[in-house]
Amino acid sequence: MEIYFLGTGAGVPAKERNVSSIALKLLEERKSVWLFDCGEATQHQILHTSIKPRKIEKIFITHLHGDHIFGIPGLLGSRSFQGGESPLTIYGPEGIKEFILNAIRLSSTHLKYKLKIVEIEEDGLLFEDETFQVYVKKLDHGIPSYGFRVVEKDLPGMLQVNKLKELGVKPGPDYKRLKNGELVTLENGTVLNGKDFLGPDKKGRIVTILGDTRACESRFELAENADVLIHEATFAKNDESLAFEYYHSTTVDAAKLAKKANVHHLILTHISSRYQGDAALQTLWQEAKEVFDQTYVARDFYRHEVKRR
């Protein structure tokens, strides 16, 4: 599981930062990529990475401001041109379906794959399968804006091969069945329960990605105990009044949440273009780090591996 930042700027593109888009690479877990937001020129950013558009399985849109959605039509068309045939699902606020379908219709874009668009109706469980759950919750922004909590389900522990060898169980189909927690009857009539030969479960990882928001309590439920919290930091600490006026957060707002929610790593993104250069970024980083030590400020193409604790 790896997070790949394709765009880390706020509002408009800048030389150092494109507008918002984050890729969650799940190539080992499910051989796919999930996108969170798709600002203008996201597909251009992808060209500088190893990400294949046909591998993008889901796109989660936090809100409908242009710097988070204007890249969707181009990416959908390119995915089709580049051989993408597998289904794609897009989740987003009310209105995302109208935006996408009108763009496709008016541009006469033909998709060679099945496109499903799910509009968020309420907080709670948005998606679940055998490996992941995705929860959504509304934040505090000028228009409906959401945060997402991606929860990897716990994995079964390692099969304790040495214990099986001591019992004379040879590698083969029985190992697989025991690994699945099934009952296996040996030739001598002994019945083994796979659950007795598994180590501790591997704890699933949690990644929380928040859309644009002012400091609000609804963020906590999404962020609690996350391995990685990705939070906007449009403004510096001294611009707190501007952040509140424009429904955004500061570096310190994000850091306070990370500390309160007991997250492992905080990554700041959605940085205003007013903060240019290494010195400005160092200041942003230090402001947050004073509150929460394990803080990073993302740049375009920054990659972060989500490790198990």
Which residues does 212 contact at the CB level (< 8 Å), separation at least 6?
62, 63, 65, 68, 139, 141, 145, 232, 234, 247, 248, 270
Is the separation of the CB atoms in 139 and 146 below 8 Å? yes
Q: Can you tell me whether residue 47 is helix, strand or coil?
A: coil
Q: Can you tell me whether residue 204 is helix, strand or coil?
A: coil
Q: What is the DSSP letter of 236?
A: -
Is the separation of the CB atoms in 170 and 275 below 8 Å? no
Residues 250-286 as b/e (b if ≥16 CB within 10 A, e otherwise) read bbbbbbbbbeebebbbbbbbbbbeebeeeeebebbbe
What ranges in 142-276 are assigned the alpha helix state H? 161-166, 173-179, 218-223, 240-245, 251-260
Is the separation of the CB atoms in 16 and 276 below 8 Å? yes
Active site residue 67: yes
Distance CA 34, CA 131 (A): 14
Tokens of 246: 């424009």
Distance CA 90, CA 88 (A): 7
Question: Which of 67, 227, 253, 300 does the annotation list as catalytic?
Answer: 67
- Virtual torsion, Cα 257, 263, 268, 270, nearest 10 deg: -70
Neighbours of 35 (CB within 10 A): 26
Catalytic positions, written as ranges = 67
